Amino acid sequence: LTEILYDEKKMEMQINVINLPGNNHDKLIKMGVEAEELVFAKGCQVHENFSSDTLSKVSKKTDAAAAPGDGGWIIRKCAKIMKGDCSIKFEESRTVLSLRIPAKPHKEHHKRYTPMDVKTFSLPQRIWGIAIDDSKVQMKLLGKFFEFAGIQKDRIKVFGQTADEIMGFVDYVITFMDENIGDHV
């Protein structure tokens, strides 16, 4: 389940991705804040297969430029660049990944406290869709999501096919934002 919330006073959007508990969810809960911090640590991956006798915390720790499982580190870095943040909570019956970023409505005639009509919803002109994932399937889904949302194909950039793309992503986004001031991203 994905939930999108908007706080008009803070002019902030929050996206919550809510999943049911997976394998070893109980062990992640026992780890508490430590597990939540490890999700966003570079080079650390919370172990998928905890050993039965201990709370093994990390399946791998690497100094590689980017490794599978570094998605949390990448998303937090990107969120910070956008002056936002992200967090994760391992709750008893679910896991909630939250991304908060500043967001200003693009329509000047935006009515306060009026629910948005999905039939007339539109993204601003000249909007870009930029995303990253190291899974080919997720990359394709991200591209399709942007298309379905109404972003022109030539304004969609999905990265993650190579380690160079992953490691260069943050620099690309910073340069891109500088070069496309005034465009919505």
Q: Specify the pLDDT at position 95.
A: 93
pLDDT of amino acid 58: 47
Q: Do the beta carbons of residue 31 and residue 50 sit within 8 Å?
A: no
Structure-block tokens of residue 121:
């919803």
| CA-wise closest residue to 122 among 139, 114, 110 | 110
The pLDDT score that the predictor gives to residue 116 is 58
- 172 C-beta neighbours (distance < 10 Å), count: 15
Distance CA 39, CA 37 (A): 5
pLDDT at 90: 93
At residue 120, the pLDDT reads 65
44 CB burial (10 A radius; 0-12, 13-18, 19+): buried
pLDDT at residue number 98: 93
pLDDT digit string (tens) for the chain, length 185 residues: 888 888 888 888 888 999 998 888 998 999 999 989 988 888 777 765 454 444 444 445 545 445 556 778 888 888 888 889 999 999 999 999 999 988 876 665 455 545 555 566 667 778 888 998 888 888 898 888 888 888 899 999 999 898 888 888 888 988 888 888 777 76
How many residues are there in the chain? 185
